[in-house]
Structure 1
Amino acid sequence: MKKVSFYTTVDHLNFETLQGLYAKAELRPYDRFSLRDRVAYLPQGKTTMHAEVTYYERVSLEEFIPILFPDPDNVFAVRGKTEYTDSGRQLERTNNIVQYVNPGIVSSTEQNKDPILVSFDWMNQIKLWTNDFIYQGASLKNYRGDGTVSFRMTLGDYMVFNTDYPNWYLSMIELSWKSGELNSYKGTLLELNPVDTQGTIMLSSARDVLDQLKQANVPVNQIEDLCIGYELKSPSSGSGQSIMAVPDWFYKIGDRWNSVTKELIPSQMNNGKEDPS
């Protein structure tokens, strides 16, 4: 099957401005790694970061109604105010994640706009968040505009993850399209406001991380992507309105992101135990 590439271009690039940005940047050496699905350039040495303490606010479910329903006046609440419907489409909140489904879309044979472009337009037009999101990936099905596009929250220069099932969408937005219409939506309700840093965390080099994963019996030849980011801890009832974002390495296998720290902890514990025999 032929791979589909997605390209972007920039108009009116000012090279003096670009040169000025690089002149002020702290340049670091990177190594080239051939992963399963891509070539990645990752830090050659260790990376020093801080855990981010953030306050969070929850976007109200009601704010999605005029965006996702064509006739908001015909929408009514179900199960208190955690679910809304117009007898066809359904909007639901589960903890800090919102889900929407529109099952009544009729399949079309017409060619519709690319789901990636439609999703970018949607993200840029909807002003429910002040956090930044970055394009994460897409799964395109056909020329009729069917496909799923995902975006991931960022803090500074790094992506934010939650690797605890079923909270993957705590730092994501996923849009699925059918015949050019929004078929389903999943995403976070959290809006993060960093207020402080806590502690210093030294992350290993990419090469050391791959060696450690190999020793922990992770099939490194199956790793599709690898990057540094933040692990967003799920809000707890006793944490008030604060939440921690902790630096870590993350690797992707089978379209699922995993925390390197969580993967290595059992291995490190086993290595530290005495042989019972």
Structure 2
Amino acid sequence: MLQVLEEVDYQWMAISQSNEILPNHYLTTKELTFKKYSYISSTRRYTTFRDAFFTNPKDVRSNVTVADTYLYDGVESLTMKQNQDIISFQSVLNDTNGLNIFEMSFPYVQRIGTSYGSIRVLNQDQNQIDYRMFVEGFPIFGSDFEGQLAFEFSDHGQNSQKKVSIQGNLKSLQIPIPSKEEVILPATQTLVENLHRQGADLQLIRTFLIGYEWKNLENTGVVDLIPNWFVKYGDRWLSYEALLSQLKQGRGSKMDFKRIEWIFFFAFLGLNLFLFSMYREAKLDQNITSRTNETIPLYKRLASENIKYEGDFSARKRDGYYLSGVPTDFEQALKSERERLKQPDLLSKQTTIDENVLTHTINDVIMMTDRSQVEEVLSKILNQPHLVLFGDEYQYIAEDTNLMNDNPEIVAGQYYEEIPINDPASRLTLRLEKEADHWSVDQYIQTHISELQPLRESMPTYSEREAINTLYINNQIPPNSKILWRKLAYKMTLIVRGQAIFVPTWFIQIETNNNEVKTEMVNAFTNRIITNSVIATVEDQK
């Protein structure tokens, strides 16, 4: 028998029968190790749920409060709690005779489709059924119905009618972020012994399983999925730690879950609703602030305000990626390159490294007598392995190069599939000295991103025209100004445990009528302005 088990390509784990604490159960005796996952999250449009749940979505009306939105049509209603992204739908089903709970709930799941992710039934009771997202074969548990569609049915009026209540969440998982972290979970034998020791009523333990706990990292747009044990205690799922905590407070066998549900229900009923439907409709649809003349072609609107530009705005939607990479360790990179080239003194003189920034003073005479020689001079430097590390990974960025001011410089950046990276974390800047009839290259400052890779398949970007329109309708292109240039490039928007995340971004430089020059940035995946956005950083919690 042992030989047969060894020949099968599975990981087997020893178990033992629990006779004393939990009869008729087999428990594992060793700890389990599971991988932790991280994702960039996004918020679904409320129309996803409106169109899937309402019988006649086009007839839906709305009321709004400061924090929540309420959609309704007859007996159907949808409440969205904006501070938690929770959605709650209520309706009445007719002609339900002969239908089981799955047959009544599945049409809603079917209509919402893959927009809610890959969901499966986790468990069902007499009047409740629970659909959840799964990761690597394990269900997701969230405190605010993240990754979950929870159905509850009750009798309503005639025998053939059923009242249905659905709860879910607007948040969705989008882009996986590379992670090597692991979490060690206790053996089930240890789990049961600890619960028993804290006074758990073993009759209330229906089942326990491994799942992933959804944890929103505040102000980052990142979600951690943390493996954990989850126990169905009574009629409620609780994490192992949450149940232990409640048991320690002496509430293990006396938790009134129905009371909690009723409090939650009445909290919804206590909402004060006010009619601002058109305002909220625009806001929830994530449309950008608009002007009354938005139906007029863009070029006419710009001309009416004397906004000048050259050429036409392209309507092409290029493909781009969410990219990840790590800042290069130049100490280690130099060591490797010296060994590869067998040059132990490579960049050993007049070179300083401060964290992830390398600065090198150039002794060789490299001169430029005309602006037309910029790319030639840059190429000459980048093609010298003894002078620049990773030189073949950079390309010229004309828009950031400036020879006119008191500190002239030539700028190059890394690129990925023909789209440059325009970010201080991935840049090589040649600093020049201006002489009477020429410029000489004095030194360069270099940053670099290693291990660049896409986090998922390519996605279409918003077009140049759409990005210009977004800036215009948000009053970021003043009257009598001039659009100097526009360019699609990657920009860092997030750092997650040392991994830098880049997204395609439209860079648009504008000169105002008082000669001020500013560069606006628009996320090319979301068409949202990110000029003043701060790069969020996620670190491990100690």
TM-score by length of 1: 0.70
Distance 2:22 2:52 in 1: 36
Task: Give the corresponding residue for 2:527.
Answer: none
Superimposed CA distance per residue, residues 70-103 of structure 1 (whole angstroms, 9 cap, x where no aligned partner): 2222112211783211243211111222111125
Task: Give the corresponding residue for 1:114.
Answer: 100
Distance 2:28 2:170 in 1: 32
CA shift, 1:125, in A, is 4.4
Superimposed CA distance per residue, residues 210-236 of structure 1 (whole angstroms, 9 cap, x where no aligned partner): 111222222234211111111112453
> Unmatched 5+ residue regions in structure 2?
1-6, 249-542
Query: How many matched pairs?
Result: 232
Task: Give the corresponding residue for 2:10.
Answer: 25
- Of 244, 248, 253 in structure 1, the residue corresponding to residue 224 of structure 2 is 244
1:206 aligns with 2:188: yes
1:195 aligns with 2:182: no
Superimposed CA distance per residue, residues 25-71 of structure 1 (whole angstroms, 9 cap, x where no aligned partner): 3233345569x999765544211012211111222111222222222
> AA paired with 2:58?
D
In structure 2, relative to structure 1, the CA distance for the partners of 1:39 and 1:128 (3 Å cut) is farther
In structure 2, relative to structure 1, the CA distance for the partners of 1:185 and 1:33 (3 Å cut) is farther
Aligned to 2:199, what secondary structure does the other structure show? coil
Distance 1:135 1:154 in 2: 10
CA shift, 1:261, in A, is 2.4
Q: How big is the alpha-carbon RMSD for the aligned residues of Structure 1 and Structure 2?
A: 3.4
- Of 95, 103, 123 in structure 1, the residue corresponding to residue 109 of structure 2 is 123
Task: Give the corresponding residue for 1:78.
Answer: 63
Q: Is the 8 A contact 2:61 2:72 kept in 1?
A: yes
Q: Is the 8 A contact 1:153 1:160 kept in 2?
A: yes
- Of 34, 53, 74 in structure 2, the residue corresponding to residue 49 of structure 1 is 34
CA shift, 1:114, in A, is 1.7
Q: Aligned ranges for residues 44-193 of structure 1 at < 5 Å?
A: 44-79=29-64, 82-94=69-81, 95-102=84-91, 111-129=97-115, 131-140=117-126, 147-162=127-142, 164=143, 167=144, 169-177=145-153, 179=160, 183-193=164-174
> Unmatched 5+ residue regions in structure 1?
1-21, 141-146, 269-277
Q: Is the 8 A contact 1:227 1:250 kept in 2?
A: yes
Aligned to 2:113, what secondary structure does the other structure show? coil
Task: Give the corresponding residue for 2:199.
Answer: 217
TM-score by length of 2: 0.38
CA shift, 1:124, in A, is 3.8
Aligned to 2:115, what secondary structure does the other structure show? coil
Identity %: 18
Distance 1:188 1:39 in 2: 38
CA shift, 1:156, in A, is 0.8
> AA paired with 2:73?
D
Q: Is the 8 A contact 1:32 1:40 kept in 2?
A: yes
Distance 2:229 2:161 in 1: 36
> AA paired with 1:184?
S
Q: Highest CA radius of gyration, 1 or 2?
A: 2
